[in-house]
Amino acid sequence: MKFAFLTELYFPHVGGQEVFFQELAEAMVRRGHQVDVHCIGHEPGLPSDEMINGVRVLRHTNRGRYMSPKIAALRRDWTDITKFSADVRRMAARGEHDFILMNQWPLMHIPALPGKIRARSAVHWCEIREDRLFRLLQSQLPKWVGMNFAVSEAVAIAIRSQSGRDCGVLPSGIVAARYRSTPRAERSGILYVGRLAPHKNLTLLVDAFALAADRGFPGDLVIAGNGPAREEIVSYAAQSPVASRIRVLGSVDEAEKIELLAHSALLGMPSRREGFPRVIAEAMASGTPVVTADFSENGGRDVVRQYGSGIVCGTEPADFADAMVAATAKDDWEGFSEAGLRGATSLDWNQVAETLEKHACSVAGHR
């Protein structure tokens, strides 16, 4: 089959949805399908058309200005969004693809899809927003396509409830065999891996770690990643009463991340807003329990609850510290670790790709 994936950003830009669409596309190619990815060029000098690991990547509005609009408060260049939506509408109208999968972002491309191919299309919902405008869009846009998928069961429930339309689940997958689980005795400390951005709320983790350390929590807090809040986090961590036990590593490669996950006692996820954080699936495959906070837009809490792979706690530093201490208790730690390892088997990319394949075949008339 020939698939088109329509997504806001793609490799080499790094983020949860970029990784989702790249790795799903490559998994579909390994299953014998052709995949064309249509995205927006996010930095100058990127090719408008190239092959990456068997996937054809076509970058529209490839001016490199998308992430730096003239009006900074808009966060994205809406001229690029408008042109991208028009471009993919013309592409879809040619009918060259058996099935089209769209990222929910940048939103405008969803109603731009020609009516004649909507039955052979789906939107992938990566997160739920609670403000009035987004609730309206979440209730209406799912009706413009033949099928909806969500990154987690919790997001799927919200889409079904708000729109009245069916919504399956395509989680953010992993190659489970890459990861390894080490015994509890070889682990210590708490790890954060991900983008350093304001909504990741890392000051909560720094404050919670100081409280937990005062209660005897063993090991260090390790923060791995990069992003616009890096300097702020480094400065904030330096003021902590346990600053000598906080390490901000910056970006790490895949091998380093796997080692960090294998030797950390816990993964900390203090974010105010998440869809399905891939790193939680990676922690599960590493047998590493997760502590995350009960913010209304934090999809990570729903993943942890669904698989029983850790603790969802309150949103104050004392709550997070209590959860850290509780999660490292021997019996609880072992239970969370084993539940995560069991759950990770269902998150392998091959199973995720098979789910999409079966649906696409059914609506496109393929066997």
Q: Are residues 165 and 180 in the same domain?
A: no
Q: Are residues 156 and 268 in the same domain?
A: no
- Written as one letter, the residue type at 123 is V
Q: Are residues 145 and 80 in the same domain?
A: yes
The answer to whether the CB of 24 falls within 8 A of the CB of 49 is no
Taking phi over 0 as left and psi of -120 to 50 as alpha, with beta for the rest, 185 belongs to alpha
Which neighbouring-strand residues pair with 312? 292
**Residue that has been written with the tokens 């069991």 in this structure:** 342
In angstroms, the CA 225 to CA 70 distance is 28
Q: Are residues 163 and 209 in the same domain?
A: no
Distances from the Cα of 227 to the Cα of 144, 149, 206, 213, 231, angstroms: 35, 29, 17, 26, 9
Q: Are residues 152 and 112 in the same domain?
A: yes
CATH label of the domain that carries residue 81 = 3.40.50.2000
Cα–Cα nearest to 112, from 132, 77, 83 = 83
In angstroms, the CA 231 to CA 233 distance is 5
Cα–Cα nearest to 217, from 197, 189, 243 = 189
The length of the chain is 367
Total structural domains in the chain?
Answer: 2
Q: Report pTM.
A: 0.77
pLDDT at 59: 96
pLDDT at 366: 67
pLDDT at 32: 97
Q: Are residues 149 and 235 in the same domain?
A: no
Give long-range contacts, CB 8 A cutoff, 24+ apart: 89-94.
89/113, 89/114, 91/4, 91/38, 92/4, 92/117, 92/121, 93/117
Q: Are residues 353 and 278 in the same domain?
A: no
Q: Which residues contact 346 (CB under 8 A, 6 or more apart)?
A: 171
Q: Are residues 326 and 241 in the same domain?
A: yes
Q: Are residues 250 and 303 in the same domain?
A: yes
Domain range for residue 152?
2-173+348-364
Distances from the Cα of 298 to the Cα of 54, 152, 229, 287, angstroms: 34, 12, 19, 22
Determine which helix (DSSP H) or strand (DSSP E) holds 273, and give its type and residue range.
strand 273-274
Q: Which residues contact 348 (CB under 8 A, 6 or more apart)?
A: 173, 174, 175, 176
Q: Are residues 354 and 282 in the same domain?
A: no
pLDDT in tens, the chain (367 residues): 999 999 999 999 988 889 999 999 999 999 999 999 999 998 888 999 999 999 999 999 888 889 888 887 778 998 999 999 999 999 999 999 999 999 999 999 999 999 999 999 999 999 999 899 999 999 999 999 999 999 988 899 999 999 999 999 999 889 889 999 999 999 999 999 999 999 999 999 999 999 999 999 999 999 999 999 999 999 999 999 999 999 999 999 999 999 999 999 999 999 999 888 889 999 999 999 999 999 999 989 999 999 999 999 999 999 999 999 999 998 999 999 999 999 998 899 999 999 999 999 999 876 5
Tell me the three-class secondary structure of 84-137, residue by residue: HHHHHHHHHHCCCCCEEEEECCCCCHHHHCCHHHHHHEEEEECCCCCCHHHHHH
In angstroms, the CA 325 to CA 347 distance is 28
Q: Are residues 167 and 132 in the same domain?
A: yes
Local structure of residue 195 (DSSP, 8 states) = -
pLDDT at 262: 98
| Torsional sign, CA 153, 15, 297, 121 | negative
Q: Are residues 225 and 153 in the same domain?
A: no
Taking phi over 0 as left and psi of -120 to 50 as alpha, with beta for the rest, 313 belongs to beta
